[in-house]
Amino acid sequence: MPLYRAEALVLRTYRLAESDRIVVFLTRDRGKKRGVARGARKSRRRFAGALEPFTRVDVTYFERESRELVRVDEAVALESAFRASSGDGFRYVGYFAELVDAWAQDSDPNDTLFRLGAATLDALAAEVPAVPLARYFELWLLRLQGVYPSIRRCQGCGAGFSGHGAWLARPAMVLLCDRCRDRAGAPDLSPAALAFLEGAVTAPPLRVADLPWSPAISREVEAVHRAMMAAHLDREPRGSRVLHAIERSEPFDYPRESAT
């Protein structure tokens, strides 16, 4: 049975029997894996703090070609959003992990997706504001999948948005200018929201706090991203509903399992 050691992002864990866990994790070099961590609910030496959602770990596991599940032997935490001394970023880790899990493919290496996840985790640990960071992460996740429309030019006529904002056309999920829009009303993305998105295309996650931001921008970008993700996943991510409540100060905590 081959032994592998890899840097990975923990995405989900499930209880198994009295002392074990099923662990879903994304490796940098071998894609998404599912494995059994024997004794993970009791062993503090081999798994202490390493199986929380969206923790970057150094994982050792055994994999047999004919088996669906690998055997996780050890996981050592390298970085965790829960190490931040303040802020509310810990409430977003389940959401980020859910989205990475939704797009990651089993045993299919995806270095860009891994790097996006790891960089977002580093930003959370550095206490970058979680709300604009979530919009940044959604933008880049959709861009990496090749499904994000141009934020500079209308997909109808090719003209720039010229300070009028952009309208989201459904079900095509493209952005149209004020001349090509298919409905009346205010734009889905105002010029200020488009400016945030344009800045996010070139800024690293650690610099998200430097981008133009306001609650109004957050609402606009969130609504557009929720629509895009639901269209391309054929469902709305559960975490987007949770964060929608959190960001509006409603009592809704994202559930997470303890590694102990």
The crossing angle, in degrees rounded to 10, of helices 238-246 and 215-233 is 170
Q: Which residues pair with 60 in a beta bridge?
A: 5, 74
User: Residue 43's pLDDT is what?
Assistant: 66
Q: Could you tell me the domains of the chain?
A: 3-148+190-246 (2.40.50.140)
Place of tokens 């959003």: 81
Q: What is the pLDDT of residues 64-109, one digit of tens each?
A: 887 889 999 999 999 988 776 556 677 888 899 999 999 999 999 9
Please give the model's pTM, rounded to 2 decimal places: 0.88
CB 142 within 8 A of CB 225: yes
Residue 51 in tokens: 């199986």
AA identity, residue 61: Y
Whole-angstrom distance, CA of residue 118 vs CA of residue 107 = 18
Q: What is the pLDDT of residues 126-168, one digit of tens each?
A: 989 999 999 999 999 999 999 999 999 999 999 999 889 999 9
